[in-house]
Amino acid sequence: MQHAGVLTTMRTGFSRTFWVANVIELFERFAYYASKAILAVFVAEQVGLGPEQAGFLVGSLFNTLLYFLPILAGTVVDRYGFRRSLMLCFAIFALGYFLIGLGGLPAGQPLVEALGARTYMVLALVVTAIGGSLIKPSIVGTVARTTTEQTKSLGYSIYYTLVNIGGAVGPLLALPVRENVGIAYVLVMSSAVSLLLLLAVVLFFKEPPRPADAKPVPSMGQVLADMVKVVANARFMAFLVIFSGFWAMFWQIFYSLPFYVRDVLGFSRFEIIETVDAWTIILVTVPVTALAMKLRPIVAMTLGFALATASWFVMGTFPTLTMTIVAIMIFAVGESLQSPRYYAYVADLAPQEQVGTYMGYAFLPIAIGTFVAGWIAGPLVSHYIGVRTDGVFVPSANFATAHHMWYWVGAIGVVSTLLMVTYDRFIAPRHERASAAGA
C-alpha cells in the first residue's frame, strides 16, 4: 500500500516544472560525468600537460570552483530567477566544454600555442566552472519551490536518484565516443548536450512562483557578511574541514584511478570502473539508510568514514581488477552510510535562526576535498605509475609497487576517521552526546 502511495504521489503530486527541472538535471549530469570521466587523462595526455598539472587543474582549480562558487551564485539565482540562470548556465557550459575540447583538437592548436597550453586550459576550465556554479542553486531551488511538506522528501529523493544515475551513465556515454571518435570529442558531446539543454529551458521550463512569504534577496555584501559569521563558528568549520577528508578520497576515483586501471591493471576501458561507485549507491542506499537510522548521525558518519578508508587499503593490498571493483563497492557502502545523515547533522549544528545560511555551506567539504585530491593525485600518478607522451607509456621507477599509492589515500581516511572520533568526544554539541548516553 505504501509503495502504491509513492507511485500515486509521483504521478500526481509534482508539477510539470518539477519534472522538467529534474530531467534537465539528469541530462546535465550525463554531460558532467561524461567529461569528468576522461578530463584528467585528457588534460594530461591529449593537451600534454602531464598528470601533475592535470590533477591540479582538473581537481584543485576546476572542481573546487564548481563546488565553492554556488555559495555566491545562489544570490545571483535568487535575484534573476531560475529560468534565466539556467539559460545562462547552459550557454556558458556549451561554450566552456567546447573550449576545453578544442584544446585537444588540431583546430584549436593555434590558439593553444598563442596562449600556452596551461593558460589556455585555466581559462577554459574557469569559464566552465562559472557556468556550473549556477546549476545546483537553480535545480535544488526549483525542487524546493515545486514541492510541499508532504512531497518534499520524495521530491529530493527523486532529485538525488537522478544525480546518481547521471554519475553511473555519464562515463558509459564517454567510453564509445573516446574509443571511436577521440577523447576530445567527449567534451564536444558535453557541449552539444548543454546546447540542447539551453533550448529545453527556453521551450519547456517555466519559472516557479516565488513564495509570498519569501525573504528579500540578500545582497552580495550580506552574503559575504554571512560567510564571515559561518567561518567564525569554530565548531561548524572544524566539522566541515574534517568531513572534507572523505571527499579527498572520493575524487581519486576520477583523478588518479583512471591511470592506475589503464596502465597498471591493463584495463583500457577505465570509464566503466569509474561508474562502480554510483551503481553501488543506487543499489544499496535504501537498505543501508534504513540500517543507519538506528545510529546517531555522528556514529553513522564515522562508520561510513571507516568503511571508505578500508576500501583503499583493500585496493592497495590486492592489486587486481576484481579487487579494485570490490574496493570501490566498499567505498560506496561507506558513502551510502554517511551521506543521508550528513545534511541533517549540518542543520543540527546551525543556529536555529540561521539554518538556511549554514546549509548553503554543506557543499564546502566537497570543494575542500576536491582541492586536496587534485593537489595530491598528480604526484601520486607520476611517482608510482609514470607518464604517457605521444602515446608512449614511460613507467616510473616505482611502477612495480604502484598499488602502494592507495595507502596514501587511505592514510587521509585514517586521519579523518580519528579526527571524527575526537570531534565527537570533545567538540560535538553536548545534546548530541547526551542523547547517545541516554540511548
Nearest-CA neighbor of 90 among 142, 144, 133? 133
Calpha distance 350→123 (Å, rounded): 36
Question: Angle at which helices 405-426 and 234-250 pack, to 10 degrees?
Answer: 160
Q: How far apart are the first and last CA of the chain?
A: 32
Q: For the beta carbon of residue 200, count every other beta carbon within 10 angstroms.
A: 16
Let me know how long the chain is: 439
Q: For the beta carbon of residue 237, count every other beta carbon within 10 angstroms.
A: 14
Cβ burial of 411 (10 Å; 0-12, 13-18, 19+) is middle
Nearest-CA neighbor of 368 among 39, 68, 5, 1? 68
Location of C-alpha cell 539556467: 86
Are the C-beta atoms of residues 394 and 387 closer than 8 Å to each other? yes
282: which 3 cell numbers?
A: 543506487
DSSP 16-80: HHHHHHHHHHHHHHHHHHHHHHHHHHIIIIIS--HHHHHHIIIIIIIIHHHHHTHHHHHHHHHHH
* pLDDT by position in tens, the chain (length 439): 455 555 555 556 688 999 999 999 999 999 999 999 999 999 999 999 999 999 999 999 999 999 998 888 877 888 888 999 999 999 999 999 999 999 999 999 999 999 999 999 999 999 999 999 889 889 988 888 888 877 877 788 788 888 889 999 999 999 999 999 999 999 999 999 999 999 999 999 999 887 766 677 777 777 778 788 888 888 889 999 999 999 999 999 999 999 999 999 999 999 999 999 999 999 988 788 777 778 888 888 999 999 999 999 999 999 999 999 999 999 999 998 888 778 778 877 777 666 667 777 888 999 999 999 999 999 999 999 999 888 889 999 999 999 999 999 999 999 999 999 999 888 876 545 444 443 4
**Partners of 388 in the beta sheet?**
393
Calpha distance 305→328 (Å, rounded): 13
Are the C-beta atoms of residues 258 and 161 closer than 8 Å to each other? no
Are the C-beta atoms of residues 238 and 416 closer than 8 Å to each other? no
> Can you list the domains of the chain with their CATH numbers?
7-203 (1.20.1250.20), 218-439 (1.20.1250.20)
